[in-house]
């Protein structure tokens, strides 16, 4: 048997604590900054100028790839089908304005930050709310994966190295974004604002300059692929096949709407008046996104941009397929090359800004996923750790979970945005539809009791907006499911089912535990005093820790007290008995035989036998433990006690007590702890401020 026993934290937990404090405290402070007090939460609230790039970077950046997705689908029928793209753009614009108008009603009616989840759960029931939550969680993960992958591809138009190492670059950027968000929402927002505004300015400048050259100067602008030819996969489509193709192109263009719901989920992060600021930001985002989307589509048509789903075989130059080495640049990059000229300052600036804003578009998910996860954890649908704020008052656990899921998705799909985008927008339109349906129920409920005519008119107008939004988004959801199911949408649906089942199981577990540990109103067996208490001191050798444990056990004044040892080595056992008698220790020593040299099982069986003989008695197991100061010392002590404690925890009526004995090396740990107490240690926001020794507060807890 090992010298000394261990109760409380396992050696691995002590090892982790020591290693983390020594190796990660300083890097953590450098990477994410010092911990913030809880009362500084108000300082992290966002003004509209910062909230726009934080929450709207996803829909704003979607204009960088949504037009290309429309053209890619239309290319199946050849270049002749491109003339449908303006009509598809009009349909996307109508849908965008409908969704923005609908969500402006949401942020006024439900400003608490629950967003679609709260709306659906409150008005349609818990199952609908959980369905919306599952859809949004999947969509947030896909937002990060798609945005980062698309950004890597856009950056690759100027830096070939990035395209050659797409997966590694994408994962590296996810790690960088994670660290930035761990610093806090306000800090990340300031970092993201400049690239977002540079991108928006660059796109508007490109649209204005392109319109000036084409309309005023009557110049001919040609994209790098203007003289390329597309071999249609299905030439001359008509009837139902053409309608299906147009619907599929429309559903791909609807990627421009992703992230619209993030503002309704992030209302608590706005400065006061929260609802009005959120609604204003929504309107600004919708107007900017629509203008940029239409402008890029128009310039793509004017500059003869040619895109193909399978460019290696279907895209021809001078009558020859471009081959597998050809890199098909995004529509926005080709339009910029036509308008500004390749390798010009404005072309490089827009390419860099586009890549940056696509990377930063993932920040929409980095704000939405942790906040939604916190709300779900509070409702007991996710682990409670997701509801805890980190050192910088961000929901750190949710941020890390999102980053891990997105990195896995990027790795599985090879950072290919064309493949990933097929999984996209299913979840967001599920959330759109259920949320707007819930808002209709919300207004119906209020109209039944409201008598003021002005308020009723406002409610009727709001209900009409939400009803139209529910119908339109529901129709789009059907289109998306029909046209994208076999192209990858089923993966998103499977992810939603997995999230739904997992969260349901977590809720059942928490409910079961709550019922099991709920304090009864009347008398309880847990309040009945045991008839007797048997104390057992575990002994390996007679040394200072053992003597201290025996002294403590005597102080407890239990009904019976005995020392217990296990015979795994006959010579050591004889020496222990002889020393026990020589010292005249007045506590009986019992030795358990162990033919197979086991320690844990004989002790467990002995304790259980005591419980069987006297079920109303309690057994107190007292274990001497070493307290050491270095992580490597944890590996040399207390291993048997760890296994023993793990078994005793599952034995009813048994209490385990640790009696620590501090070795000299523990002074090193004490000094480190004293040094860390001089600044805000990790987790101090959750624990509250430390109190110096001798200066304890006189206030009652």
Asked if pLDDT for residue 549 goes beyond 80, the answer is: yes
What are the extents of the domains in the chain? 43-509, 530-681
Decide which of 627 and 655 is more confident: 655
pLDDT at 685: 39
Give residue for tokens 């467990």.
Answer: 604
pLDDT tens digit sequence for 550-569:
988 988 878 899 999 988 88
DSSP letter assigned to residue 596:
T
SS3 513: helix
pLDDT at 415: 78
pLDDT at 399: 85
What percentage of residues in the chain have a pLDDT greater than 90? 8
Choose among 204, 225, 253, 212: nearest CA to 330. 225
Domain 43-509: which CATH class?
mainly alpha
pLDDT tens digit sequence for 77-100:
777 778 888 888 898 888 888 888
C-beta atoms surrounding 232 within 10 Å: 17
Asked if pLDDT for residue 157 goes beyond 60, the answer is: yes
Distance CA 587, CA 453 (A): 86
pLDDT at 684: 40
Asked if pLDDT for residue 38 goes beyond 90, the answer is: no
pLDDT at 364: 75
pTM for the complete prediction?
0.66
Tokens standing for residue 183: 């610093």
Asked if pLDDT for residue 9 goes beyond 50, the answer is: no
pLDDT at 633: 60
pLDDT tens digit sequence for 418-469:
677 767 778 888 888 898 899 999 989 988 888 888 889 988 988 998 898 8
pLDDT at 41: 45
Asked if pLDDT for residue 132 goes beyond 70, the answer is: yes
Contact 297, 70 (CB under 8 A): yes
Task: Catalogue the E-assigned strands of 513-555.
Answer: 533-538
pLDDT at 356: 80
Sheet holding 229-230, edge to edge: 229-230, 315-317, 320-321
Asked if pLDDT for residue 407 goes beyond 80, the answer is: yes
Average pLDDT estimate for 480-494? 80
Contact 428, 257 (CB under 8 A): yes
Asked if pLDDT for residue 696 goes beyond 60, the answer is: no
Q: Share the mean pLDDT of the chain.
A: 78
Decide which of 148 and 161 is more confident: 148
Average pLDDT estimate for 634-639? 58
pLDDT at 595: 81
SS3 660: strand
pLDDT tens digit sequence for 52-80:
877 777 777 777 778 888 888 888 777 77
pLDDT tens digit sequence for 526-543:
555 667 888 999 988 888
What topology is assigned to 530-681 in CATH? Answer: Rossmann fold (3.40.50)
Concatenate the DSSP letters of all residues of 318-380 into one string.
TTEE--TT-----HHHHHHHHHH-TT-HHHHHHHHHHHHHHHHHHHHHHHHHHHHHHHHHHTT
pLDDT at 694: 40
Buried b (16+ CB within 10 A) or exposed e, 243-266: eebbbbbbbbbbbbbbbbbbbbbb
Buried b (16+ CB within 10 A) or exposed e, 423-437: bbbbbbbbbbbbbbb
Average pLDDT estimate for 95-108? 84
pLDDT at 498: 92
Residue 160, C-beta contacts closer than 8 angstroms, at least 6 positions apart: 327
Asked if pLDDT for residue 681 goes beyond 50, the answer is: no
């Amino acid at each position: 048997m090992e010298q000394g026993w261990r109760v409380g934290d396992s050696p691995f937990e002590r090892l982790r604590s020591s290693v983390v404090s020594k190796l990660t405290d300083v890097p953590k402070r450098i990477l994410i900054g010092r911990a913030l007090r809880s009362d500084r939460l108000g300082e992290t609230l966002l003004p509209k100028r910062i909230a726009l790039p934080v929450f709207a970077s996803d829909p704003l950046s979607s204009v960088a790839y949504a037009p290309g997705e429309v053209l890619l689908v239309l290319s199946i029928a050849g270049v002749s089908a491109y003339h449908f793209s303006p009509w598809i753009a009009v349909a996307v614009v109508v849908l965008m304005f409908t969704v923005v108008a609908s969500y402006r009603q949401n942020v006024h009616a439900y400003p608490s930050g629950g967003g679609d989840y709260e709306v659906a759960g409150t008005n349609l029931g818990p199952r609908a709310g959980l369905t919306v939550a599952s859809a949004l969680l999947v969509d947030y993960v896909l937002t990060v994966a798609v945005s980062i992958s698309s950004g890597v591809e856009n950056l690759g138009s100027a830096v070939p190295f990035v395209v050659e190492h797409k997966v590694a670059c994408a994962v590296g950027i996810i790690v960088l974004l994670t660290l930035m968000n761990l610093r806090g929402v306000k800090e990340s927002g300031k970092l993201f604002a400049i690239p977002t505004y540079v991108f928006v300015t660059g796109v508007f400048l490109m649209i204005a300059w392109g319109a000036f050259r084409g309309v005023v100067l009557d110049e001919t602008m040609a994209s790098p692929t203007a003289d390329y030819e597309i071999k249609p996969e299905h030439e001359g489509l008509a009837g139902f096949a053409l309608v299906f193709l147009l619907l599929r192109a429309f559903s791909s263009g609807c990627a421009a709407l992703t992230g619209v719901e993030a503002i309704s989920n992030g209302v608590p992060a706005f400065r006061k008046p929260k609802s009005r600021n959120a609604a204003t930001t929504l309107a600004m985002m919708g107007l900017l996104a629509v203008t940029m989307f239409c402008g890029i589509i128009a310039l793509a048509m004017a500059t003869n941009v040619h895109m193909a789903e399978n460019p290696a075989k279907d895209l021809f130059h001078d009558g020859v397929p471009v081959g597998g080495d050809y890199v098909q640049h995004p529509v926005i990059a080709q339009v910029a090359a036509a308008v500004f000229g390749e390798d010009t300052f404005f072309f490089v600036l827009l390419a860099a800004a586009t890549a940056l804003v696509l990377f930063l578009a993932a920040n929409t998910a980095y704000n939405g996923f942790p906040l939604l996860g916190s709300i779900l954890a509070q409702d007991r649908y996710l682990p409670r750790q997701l509801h805890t704020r980190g050192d910088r008052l961000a929901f750190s656990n949710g941020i890390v979970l999102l980053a891990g899921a997105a990195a896995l998705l990027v790795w599985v799909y090879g950072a290919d945005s064309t493949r990933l985008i097929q999984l996209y927008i299913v979840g967001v339109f599920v959330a759109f539809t259920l949320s707007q349906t819930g808002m209709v129920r919300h207004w119906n409920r209020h109209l039944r009791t409201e008598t003021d005519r002005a308020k009723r008119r406002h409610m009727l107008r709001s209900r009409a907006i939400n009803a139209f939004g529910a119908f339109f988004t529901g129709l789009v959801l059907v289109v998306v499911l029909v046209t994208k199911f076999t192209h990858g949408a089923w993966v998103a649906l499977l992810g939603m089912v997995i999230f739904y089942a997992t969260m349901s199981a977590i809720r059942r577990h928490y409910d079961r535990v709550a019922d099991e540990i709920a304090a009864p109103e009347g008398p309880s067996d847990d309040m009945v005093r045991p008839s007797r208490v048997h104390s057992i001191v575990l002994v390996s050798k007679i040394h200072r820790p053992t003597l201290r444990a025996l002294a403590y056990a005597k102080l407890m004044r239990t009904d019976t007290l005995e020392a217990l040892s296990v015979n795994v080595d006959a010579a050591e056992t004889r020496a222990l008995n002889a020393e026990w008698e020589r010292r005249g220790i007045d506590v009986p020593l019992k030795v358990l035989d162990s033919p197979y040299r086991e320690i844990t099982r004989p002790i467990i069986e002995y304790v259980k036998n005591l419980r069987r003989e006297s079920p109303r008695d309690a057994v107190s197991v007292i274990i001497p433990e070493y307290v050491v100061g270095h992580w490597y010392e944890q590996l040399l002590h207390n291993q048997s006690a760890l296994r023993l404690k793990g078994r005793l925890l599952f034995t009813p009526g048994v209490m385990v007590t640790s009696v620590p004995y501090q070795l000299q090396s523990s002074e090193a740990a004490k000094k480190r702890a004293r040094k860390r107490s001089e600044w805000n240690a990790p987790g101090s926001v959750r624990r509250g401020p430390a109190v110096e020794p001798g200066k304890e507060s006189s206030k009652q807890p």
